[in-house]
Structure 1
Amino acid sequence: MRYLPLTDADRSAMLETIGADSIDALFVDVPVEARLDGPIHGLPNHATEMAVERHMRMLSKKNLAAADAPFFLGCGAYRHHVPASVDHLIQRGEFLTAYTPYQPEIAQGTLQMLFEFQTQVARLFGCDVANASMYDGSTACWEAIGMAGRVTKRSKAVLSSGLHPHYVSVAKTMAKYTGDTLDIAAPELVAETDADRVIAAIDGETSCVVVQYPDILGRVADLSAIAEAAHAAGALLIAVVTEPVALGMLKSPGEMGADIVVGEGQSIGVGLQFGGPYVGLFACQEKFVRQMPGRLCGETRDSDGKRGFVLTLSTREQHIRREKATSNICTNSGLCALAFSIHMTLLGEKGLRGLAGINHAKAVAAAGVLSAIPGVELVTPTFFNEFTLKLPKAARPVVRALADKGILGGVSLGRLYPDDGSIEHGLVVAVTETVSDEDIQAFAKALAEELA
């Protein structure tokens, strides 16, 4: 039975107070075609619990799970090995039952964990300070663009063509309501990034330049020239990192002049989880900290001189700032941030560098095998663990055919950019430590057969 705590009299009193004639009046802003006029088509009105479980199991069997097949998918979500100890530790009662610290100083354990998390992210990104996390990488990216606008008092953002299209989509959605102008372009299947186009687009109205590192095709580029050009024009450089494991081997964006570095932390400690929940990473240089969204935990000393942790900065709208808030993101991804921090702690600097080395070596080996297939061209000679192949025909049907053979063989650019036929032959392949030599050989054999 449904839980309906309100009586008809209660509802009438509430409607009268807010000046609405009926409950339907509350939904006038929702287009008629988007409203349901009855039960959802195809779903029964009711079913037994056992029947629902049976039906859901049948549906789940249609999935090809990442652990059950050679897996080469990437483009912002990566399969890495997460030690069993991570899951064990995040389920300890003091972590699992803790929620966002509304009375923060009471939750010393939570604050200390977030403090450690912030320290790890700041060091990883090469920045002075990091916040306690965002929802995910795409929303962190937009928040960085908004932050740059507040810092520079400008409203034009130049986005590299190598920025993940989902991140671009989020930025376009938000820009419709903020009035920001986005200079965007689609990527080309070439080895070089569009650094020259980005630099040429910077002018006196530019608030920021947004560059992904490594980018959507897997290309790795020195960001120093873009940073110099942005700073010369009074703009900020925002670097987006969707694969943080790469920073175990690559120079950090902060070291190359990035003012704000954001990204997706899923690769470390967080499983694929059907696309979420994930954890957004956000860091910046200290001089911009007052404009940083989210919350920041700090270390202090109490009146007895004992070490303690406090909520140092909180710009969320639910606190006292209300309409003056720098962000409407209400909380941090606490549990996923905890998993990230535990996994990072278990790895340590040496372990992260070792993991990065394994990823790169396996990717280089896979690129060599796959690009040796007749008709297949390696587009990205410089990469970390993700690279782009150009196939002799459209990649999207090839990916489907490989999936039918039990191989998850990369992400087709035709799927990411369905309206751009010039790159439909592109296939983005990610290779992590979870991929075996047998997986690579199976992928190569199936791809060769499909292209023959």
Structure 2
Amino acid sequence: MRYLPLTEADRAEMLAVIGAATVDDLFADVPAQARLDGPIAGLPLHASELAVERHMTGLAARNLSAGSVPFFLGAGAYRHHVPASVDHLIQRGEFLTAYTPYQPEIAQGTLQALFEFQTQVARLYGTEIANASMYDGSTACWEAILMAGRITRRDRVVLSGGLHPHYAQVVRTMAKFTRDVIDTRLPELQAEPDDIALISSIDGETACVVVQYPDILGRIPDLAAIAEAAHARGALLVAVVTEPVALGLIEAPGHLGADIVVGEGQSLGVGLQFGGPYLGLFGCREKFVRQMPGRLCGQTVDAEGKRGFVLTLSTREQHIRREKATSNICTNSGLCALSFSIHMTLLGGEGLARLARINHARAQAMVARLTQVPGVSCLNDAYFNEVTLLLPRDARDVVRALAERRVLGGVSLGRLYPGVASLRHGLLVTATETTTDEDIAIFAAELEGVLA
């Protein structure tokens, strides 16, 4: 039975109040080519549950899952081994069904888990504080830009050409609908890292400069130099980390002068999951804490002197007056944050460093073998576990041909930058601790066959 309580008169009244002539007016910002003008062709209007289940199972069987074939995809979502104990622990009822603690001090277990999570993120990022998580890396990036605008009272943002294009698109989309920060500039991505050009884009009206570390091509920018230049002009440096495992080997952004560090936490404890849910990480300098979005859990003592946990700061609109809120983050990816924290706890500092070294060694072995394929070269002078290969022809065609040979052989730059002809031959490939010598050998053999 369908439940549609609103009448046509109800809908007409609501449209009149908001000034829209029809319901279609509400979708004006969705590109015309993405809007449907009727039922989807070939899709039946109804079917039995059994028929739908059988159909969907057949569609799912057409997927090449990450664990079933040699897998070299990355570009912001990475395949790592997640210990079985992570899933076992988050399946406990008190974790799996927990929601936002509106009476937080009653939920001591939730608060303690988030407190430990914040500590881990702050240490990982080299920042003085971290919040109790966000939706994902791209929206955390946008929240950092808004925060920088509030701190500096400026409205210009410089985005590095090495920022993930999907993150940049989220920024541009969100900027379109807010007056807080509206002037975003994205220099064209260059094959060679050009920190000097980025630094020259920073002026006295810049609120912040946003730099990915390592960047979308796998290169490692000089954050210290960029931070110094930004601070000299009164701007903040926002560092974006899409692969947190890298921080087990390279210096934390906060130690290099970054004022706000954000990124994606999916690599630790959270599987690929067909694109989500994921986990946004957010850390900053303590002096900026009241401008930080989301929530902050703190440690204290109760009336009897026993250790306890409280919601120290909550700047979201559900807790304070709406006009005083710094964001409308309504949840905190709590289960993903717990998965991250459990995985980090199992690894420890030494374990994370060892995991990072294994990742880098796997990437070195991959590059050494793939660059033996005729016509293939490596763009990067330095990298962590992700590099850009230059192929003798359009990488999009190569990726499709490799998939037909049951190899998921990376992400073509032509897919990420469809309008940039100079990047069509670029292939972004990633190796992690899950990548075996056999995987690399198969990849190399199939790539050579495709390019022959």
TM range, normalised to the smaller chain? Answer: over 0.9
Q: Distance in 2 between matches of 1:157 and 1:104?
A: 36
Report the alpha carbon displacement of residue 302 of structure 1 after superposing the two structures with TM: 1.1
Report the alpha carbon displacement of residue 18 of structure 1 after superposing the two structures with TM: 8.9
Matched residue type, 1:30? F
C-alpha change, 1:24 and 1:102, in structure 2 (3 Å) is farther
Q: Which residue of 2 aligns with 1:29?
A: 26
Q: Which residue of 2 aligns with 1:439?
A: 439
Deviations 1:161-203 (A, max 9, x none): 110000000111112223421121232223xx22111110111
Q: Distance in 2 between matches of 1:40 and 1:310?
A: 50
Q: Distance in 2 between matches of 1:376 and 1:21?
A: 57
Q: Distance in 2 between matches of 1:116 and 1:16?
A: 50
Question: Secondary structure at the residue paired with 1:332?
Answer: coil
C-alpha contact (below 8 Å) 2:156/2:183 kept by paired residues:
yes
Matched residue type, 1:118? Q
Q: Distance in 1 between matches of 2:334 and 2:191?
A: 38
Please give the residue correspondences for 1:277-292 in structure 2 after superposition, counting only pairs within 5 Å. Answer: 277-292=277-292
Q: Distance in 1 between matches of 2:61 and 2:14?
A: 51
Q: Which residue of 2 aligns with 1:151?
A: 151
Deviations 1:36-85 (A, max 9, x none): 66544432222111111110011011111101100000000000000111
Q: Distance in 2 between matches of 1:348 and 1:92?
A: 23
Q: Which residue of 2 aligns with 1:189?
A: 191
Find out whether 1:233 has 2:233 as its counterpart: yes
Stretches of structure 1 lacking an aligned partner (at least 5 in a row): none
Q: Distance in 1 between matches of 2:315 and 2:63?
A: 41
Q: Which residue of 1 aligns with 2:390?
A: 390
Identity of aligned residues (%): 68
Deviations 1:249-280 (A, max 9, x none): 11000000000000000000000000000000
Q: Which residue of 2 aligns with 1:108?
A: 108
Q: Distance in 2 between matches of 1:124 and 1:21?
A: 46
C-alpha contact (below 8 Å) 2:20/2:26 kept by paired residues:
no
The alignment's TM-score, normalised by the length of structure 2, stands at 0.95
Deviations 1:99-137 (A, max 9, x none): 111111111111111111000000000000000111100
Stretches of structure 2 lacking an aligned partner (at least 5 in a row): none
Report the alpha carbon displacement of residue 24 of structure 1 after superposing the two structures with TM: 7.5
Question: Secondary structure at the residue paired with 1:29?
Answer: helix
Which shifted more, 170-179 or 69-78?
A: 170-179
Q: Distance in 2 between matches of 1:395 and 1:2?
A: 48
C-alpha change, 1:443 and 1:7, in structure 2 (3 Å) is closer
Q: Distance in 2 between matches of 1:390 and 1:17?
A: 55
Report the alpha carbon displacement of residue 7 of structure 1 after superposing the two structures with TM: 7.3
Q: Which residue of 2 aligns with 1:324?
A: 324
Alignment: residue pair count:
447
C-alpha change, 1:399 and 1:17, in structure 2 (3 Å) is closer
Question: Secondary structure at the residue paired with 1:227?
Answer: helix
Q: Which residue of 2 aligns with 1:258?
A: 258
C-alpha change, 1:421 and 1:2, in structure 2 (3 Å) is same
Please give the residue correspondences for 1:412-431 in structure 2 after superposition, counting only pairs within 5 Å. Answer: 412-431=412-431
C-alpha change, 1:158 and 1:16, in structure 2 (3 Å) is closer
Deviations 1:376-418 (A, max 9, x none): 1110020000001111111110010000000000110000000
C-alpha contact (below 8 Å) 1:162/1:211 kept by paired residues:
yes
Q: Which residue of 2 aligns with 1:357?
A: 357
C-alpha contact (below 8 Å) 1:164/1:216 kept by paired residues:
yes
C-alpha contact (below 8 Å) 2:90/2:338 kept by paired residues:
yes
Deviations 1:327-361 (A, max 9, x none): 12222110110100011111111111111010000
Find out whether 1:83 has 2:95 as its counterpart: no
Q: Distance in 1 between matches of 2:124 and 2:316?
A: 25
Q: Distance in 1 between matches of 2:324 and 2:183?
A: 22
C-alpha change, 1:230 and 1:13, in structure 2 (3 Å) is closer
Report the alpha carbon displacement of residue 428 of structure 1 after superposing the two structures with TM: 0.6
Q: Distance in 2 between matches of 1:7 and 1:285?
A: 49
C-alpha change, 1:39 and 1:238, in structure 2 (3 Å) is same
Q: Distance in 1 between matches of 2:387 and 2:35?
A: 43
Q: Distance in 2 between matches of 1:410 and 1:18?
A: 47
Q: Which residue of 2 aligns with 1:212?
A: 212
Q: Distance in 1 between matches of 2:374 and 2:204?
A: 48
Alignment root-mean-square deviation, CA = 2.0
C-alpha change, 1:18 and 1:305, in structure 2 (3 Å) is farther
C-alpha contact (below 8 Å) 1:189/1:426 kept by paired residues:
no
Report the alpha carbon displacement of residue 13 of structure 1 after superposing the two structures with TM: 7.1
C-alpha contact (below 8 Å) 2:389/2:429 kept by paired residues:
yes
Matched residue type, 1:328? N
